[in-house]
Structure formats: C-alpha cells, structure tokens
Amino acid sequence: MNGFLEYVPGDSLLHRLNPVTKIVFAVLFAITCFCTSNIFFLCGMLICGIIMAASCQMLRPVLGLMKAVLAFSVILAVLLLLTSPSGDVLVELPWGYIGTGSIMAAVTTIVRLEAAAIPLFLTFYVTKMTDLSNSVVKVLHVPYKYAFTFASTVHFIPVFMNDMKSIMEAQTARGVEFDQGGIVNKIRLMVPLCVPLLVSSVRKTNSAAIAAEVRGFNLRTRESGYKQYPFSAVDLVVMLIAVALLVAVILVP
C-alpha cells in the first residue's frame, strides 16, 4: 500500500472519473455536510463516503485517516460541549451548563467532519497528482503556479513524514525513548527533532525549486500540457448528484 495521500492505481469508477469531476464532487459533498445539522442526513453522507471508499479498495487507508480526523473533531466537539449550552440541563457548570442540545451539537460536529473529509481523501488516493494539477489548469483555468504550489505541498507531506520517521528511528537507536513519560515529556523530546527536519525540508525545497527553474517553470502556460481531460456522461451524472444533494439541503429545512 502506498503512503499518506499517495496515488493508488486501480480501475474503479472513481479512478476513471475526470479529475475535475472528483474535485467538484468532493468540494460540493463537503459543503453539503456543512450546510445541514440533520444528524440522520449526515450519517447517510458518512455511510455513502465509506461505500465509495470500499468501491475503490481504499477502505483501510480511509479508515486510518478517519481516526486522525476523529481526534481533531473530538477536540472541537468538547469545546462546543463546554461553550454552547442548549436543551435540557444535564450538568451544571460554573459558566453555564451541558444540555441535551449541547451533546447533539457535539455529535453532529464529529459526524459532519468525518463525512466531509472522506471524498477529499479519496480524491488524492484515486487521482495522480499530475492529472489533478494539469486538469484544473486546463479545464478550470487555474494559474499553473497555484496548481503547482498545491501539488507540491501535498507531494511533500509524505516525504516529510518519512523524514521524521527516519530521524526518530535514528534517535531511538541512540537511546531516546519517545514512548516513555507523559505528554509534556513527549513534546520536549519532539522539539529537537524539528531542527534536522527543517534543514532537510529546506534542502529538498531548494532542490525542487532549482529543478523547476531548469525545466522552464516560468514558461509554462495552460496550453503547455499535451494531455486532454474530456468529460463523459458519467462525469455529468456525478456532478448533478452532488449539486442535487446541495440544493436539497438548502431548500429542505
């Protein structure tokens, strides 16, 4: 299995869709999730996302990424729980209370973030980054510099993660125990790792910039790409489904 947010080859329906269709669908899917507070509708969206992941054999990596989103969403849910009193009182607090509405809002936040994140994750797993950046330049007329910056950012995420893993393994071989002590001790041990990671990041970024300049980066235009990205009937249907979901959420209370 490939690394974090790296393209995984396949022949599923999601793999065959136009890259622009995948982006539009993922964005509209996420907007739809944020336009409603209906917990049942959000659960349905979450189930649809999981089914999409299973259809392209990406269920395991998506579930792994959902755990990371869960940790972040739980933090937001706790803050919402403590600062948004609503509904029947369950627990009295010095600055307010936790009510039934507070719990429902916290649960809704968790489900909403999980559901909105899945299509975005899948877009990177089922689409080559070159196709993703080139298609938005050709079809959506996004300036190539912006598309290249976004693609480079995503590309370097797994690279930096691998660098951090290598640095931690080297420090572990020297006797550093990262799994010992509390959270404060773990943070204290992680801080010195930022220096070699920063040095490595600057070197890789500088090398990438030089390589781009040598290959005529500043001369690149929308017409420079030779590959075309035509839309099919399936692409149209997928985008219509995404639009229909968004319109339904806006019109139906």
Instruction: Kindly report, residue by residue over 212-243, the tens digit of the pLDDT.
Output: 777 776 666 666 666 777 888 998 999 999 99
Say what the pLDDT of residue 155 is.
73
Give the residue extent of every domain in the chain. Answer: 13-128+229-251, 140-224
Position 172 pLDDT exceeds 80: no
Asked if 76 and 34 count as a contact pair (C-beta separation under 8 A), the reply is: no
Asked if 107 and 123 count as a contact pair (C-beta separation under 8 A), the reply is: no
pLDDT band at 194 (very low <50, low <70, confident <90, very high): confident
**How far apart are alpha carbons 253 and 141 in whole angstroms?**
35
Ranges assigned E (strand) in the chain: 89-93, 96-99
Tokens found for residue 99: 């009510």
Position 191 pLDDT exceeds 80: no
Cα angle 17, 21, 25 (rounded to 5 degrees) comes to 115
Q: What is the pLDDT of residues 133-142, one digit of tens each?
A: 888 888 888 8
Percent of the chain with pLDDT over 70: 88
Q: Is the pTM of this model over 0.85?
A: no
Bridge partners, 98 (sequence order): 91
Asked if 15 and 56 count as a contact pair (C-beta separation under 8 A), the reply is: yes
Position 180 pLDDT exceeds 70: no
